[in-house]
């Protein structure tokens, strides 16, 4: 990145304040007039040898939307549990058997981000956000409609995890 010393200090200051990469990206645009992509901001922060507050979830192999903070696989393993392993659903928000959500390491075709959800009754579905920001849900069982409480929990978990990932 071609930033002057004052701009680099500003970015360092924002990291120390605990701003997330998405917030830094916004500030670079609004305060410094720089239109950088999220990836550009990630590279800039890496170039400055800084560690943002939202970098922790990005190090895990596959990220589950749960209250657990334990990594999914061996440290440094690019795929977490191995190339053929599926993420294991875990309970979330303290109730066993409730909704669990996983984020795909590689988004499905036509999607910005995608993953899977398991509802409290055991039914599963694939979810995705398309380029227009629309959420799509494709249940595995034709005609399946999750309970309203499950949908609400799914949306809260999804929003929380995507915020951690900078979306």
Q: How would DSSP label each residue in 127-162?
A: EEEETT--EEEEESSTT----HHHHHHHHHHHHHHH
* pLDDT confidence of residue 160: 84
Question: What pLDDT sits at residue 92?
Answer: 38
Scanning the structure block, which residue is given the tokens 């949306």? 155
Together in a domain, 68 and 107: yes
pTM here is 0.43
Structural domain boundaries, residue 44: 5-55
- Of 128, 93, 126, 100, whose CA–CA distance to 114 is shortest? 128
How high is the pLDDT of residue 86? 42
Name which residue leads in pLDDT, 40 or 59.
Answer: 40
Burial of 66-82, coded b for 16+ CB within 10 Å and e otherwise, reads beeeebbbeeeeeebee
Q: How many domains does the chain have?
A: 2
User: Would the pLDDT of 117 be above 90?
Assistant: yes
Q: Residue 27 has what pLDDT?
A: 87
**76 and 49, same structural domain?**
no
Residues 44 and 72 in one domain: no
51-75 pLDDT tens trace? 776 544 443 333 434 433 333 443 4
């Amino acid at each position: 990145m071609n930033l002057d010393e004052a701009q680099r200090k500003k970015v360092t200051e924002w990291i120390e304040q605990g701003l997330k990469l998405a917030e830094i990206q916004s500030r670079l645009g609004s305060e410094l007039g720089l239109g950088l992509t999220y990836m550009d901001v990630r590279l800039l922060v890496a170039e400055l040898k800084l560690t943002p507050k939202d970098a922790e979830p990005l190090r895990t192999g596959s990220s589950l939307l749960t209250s657990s903070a334990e990594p999914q696989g061996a440290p440094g393993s690019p795929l977490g549990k191995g190339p053929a392993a599926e993420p294991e659903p875990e309970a979330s928000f303290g109730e066993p058997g409730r909704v669990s959500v996983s984020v795909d390491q590689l988004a499905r075709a036509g999607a910005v981000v995608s993953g899977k959800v398991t509802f409290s009754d055991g039914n599963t579905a694939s979810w995705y956000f398309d380029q227009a920001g629309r959420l799509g849900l494709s249940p595995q069982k034709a005609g399946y409609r999750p309970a309203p409480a499950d949908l609400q929990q799914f949306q809260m978990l999804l929003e929380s995890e995507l915020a951690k990932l900078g979306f």
